[in-house]
Structure formats: structure tokens, C-alpha cells
Amino acid sequence: MEQQTGATVLTAPAEGASTMAGGGGAAPAPLAGGDPTLADPTLADPTLADPGLAAAPAGGLEATLRHAWEILLAGGPVVMILLALSVVALAIVLVKLWQFRAARLGDRRTARRALSLYRTGRSGEALALAGRSRNPVARVLVRAINGRARRDLPEAMVREEVVRYGADLLESLRGWFRPLEVIGSLAPLLGLFGTVLGMISAFQQLEEAGSQVDPSILSGGIWEALLTTAVGLAVAMPVIVLLNWLERRVDRLAHEMDDCVTQVFTEDLSFAPVAEERSHGGLEGRTAALVAGR
């Protein structure tokens, strides 16, 4: 009995093997209640069944980088110069964004609230509120309020000093705008210059070929020449867009600064038309009374 049982156990794998060999390669059935991935590890990790899946992303990235490098080499030194200009422009834009964030250019409420407090006679609260802000408008407002409080200084002198201080802050915010403007204007011209050089080279190769003209020579030279123009436009367009956005923010800040400073030295005339109308009415009444008395 023991030998029979052992024979049965030993012959079971052989029957399963013969079934796999002649039955179309069917996988052995998983154990009841077990994990199918234990019977077939490829279900848990498909890369075991196809090692190319693991190497595909790395190979694709490497091929893309190699293709990009070949395109850069085909563009020649002009493309390299344009790439250097793009790096410089990106660095300038990042520095300006950091500067604008540090200066809290988006904080427009603090200066307005401080100005409202000052115009209602609460100068101390206005100075305390504006002094805690790094916004240029609030800083200029603090200087204007302090100058206005000094009775020993004429108003013209205080205005001149406040305007000078505000112009200095605006100039620091406009710094490095000119290099961005130069890059935005120069990049398309450099691309066009590279295109002209590439066309000259292509036609020279075409002339050297003589009667055995190969159209691929001309077409290859043309696309390499047009590559520089495409790179130049790709560098110039975002630089111009970002430059206009940065300039617009500074212009808006300058207008806000001028408006707040002017209100420090002026009075609220929102009720002036009513008072003026009453004064004119009283004058007309007195005039009519004088005429009637005569």
C-alpha cells in the first residue's frame, strides 16, 4: 500500500508535464485559495516575461536626448548662442519673480487701508500699518506721511523727496528689463542670420556637386538652415511675453504709488460739489436782495 501511494505521488508530475507538452502550453491551475502570482511570477512583474519593457523608458529617453543633441549640432554655433541667451533670459525672469515676491507687489490693500486711516485723522495707525509692509507703495506712503507731519519743511520740498524716493524704488524694479528686451529683439535676427548662412552653405554644396545634383543635399541644407530661425523664434516669443507682463506690473505699481502720494497732499473733495452749489445759491440770493432793495 505504501509503495502504491508513493508511485501515485511520483507519477502525478509526469502526467502534468505530458499534459503541458501536448495540450497547447496551458499553465498549471493555481492552488485553491492561493495567490496566482505564486504559480506564475510574471503576473506580479511583467518585466520578467518581457525584459524590454524595463529598458524601454530609459532607451527612449536616451534616444530623445541623442536626437536633440544631433539637432543642436546641425544648427551650428548660432543655435548654441541662442540656447545661451535663453538660459540668461530664464535666469533674469526667475530673479525678477523672486524680487517681485519679496517686495509684495500683490499687496495693494495695505497701502489703501493706511491711506484711508490717514485721511480720517488717524496718522499713527496709518504709519504703523504701512510700516509693517514691504510693498513699495506702502513704503513711499510712510515717507510722505512723515514729511507731511513736519511743519518746518515746505510742501514742495517734501513732494520732491517723496517723488525721488518712489522713482528710486521703481528703477530697482525695472532693473534687467533692458537685457530681456535685447534678447527678445536679437533672437529672431540671430535665427535669420543662421538661416542665411545655412542657405549659403547648401548652395555651395550644390555647386560642388556639379551635374550630379542630389536633391537630398539641398533639402538637408535647407532644413538645417531653417532650424536656426525656429530656435530664434522659440526663444524670442516667451521672452517678449514675459517682459511685457513684468513691465505691466511695474507700470501698475507706479500708477498706484502716484495716486496714493497725491492723496496725502490733497483733501477729499467728494462733498465739494454740494458745498459749492450751496454757496452759489446763497450768493445769488444776496445779489437778488440787493437789486430789489435798490
User: What tens digit of pLDDT does each residue of 121-151 get?
Assistant: 999 999 999 999 999 999 999 999 999 999 8
In this predicted structure, the answer to whether residue 61 has a pLDDT above a threshold of 80 is yes
What whole-number distance in Å separates Cα of residue 7 and Cα of residue 13?
Answer: 11
Provide the residue type at 159 as one letter. Answer: R
Percent of the chain with pLDDT over 90: 53
pLDDT at position 67 is: 79
Q: Are 141 and 264 in contact (CB under 8 A)?
A: yes
Q: Rounded mean pLDDT of the chain? A: 79
The pLDDT value given to residue 21: 40
User: Is the per-residue pLDDT at 7 higher than 90?
Assistant: no
State the average pLDDT over residues 78-85: 94
Q: What is the pTM of this model?
A: 0.70
Residue-wise pLDDT for 175-221, tens only, equals 999 999 999 999 999 999 999 998 888 888 888 877 777 777 777 77
pLDDT of residue 20: 40
Tens digit of each residue's pLDDT (9 = 90 or more) over 218-267: 777 788 889 999 999 999 999 999 999 999 999 999 999 999 999 999 98
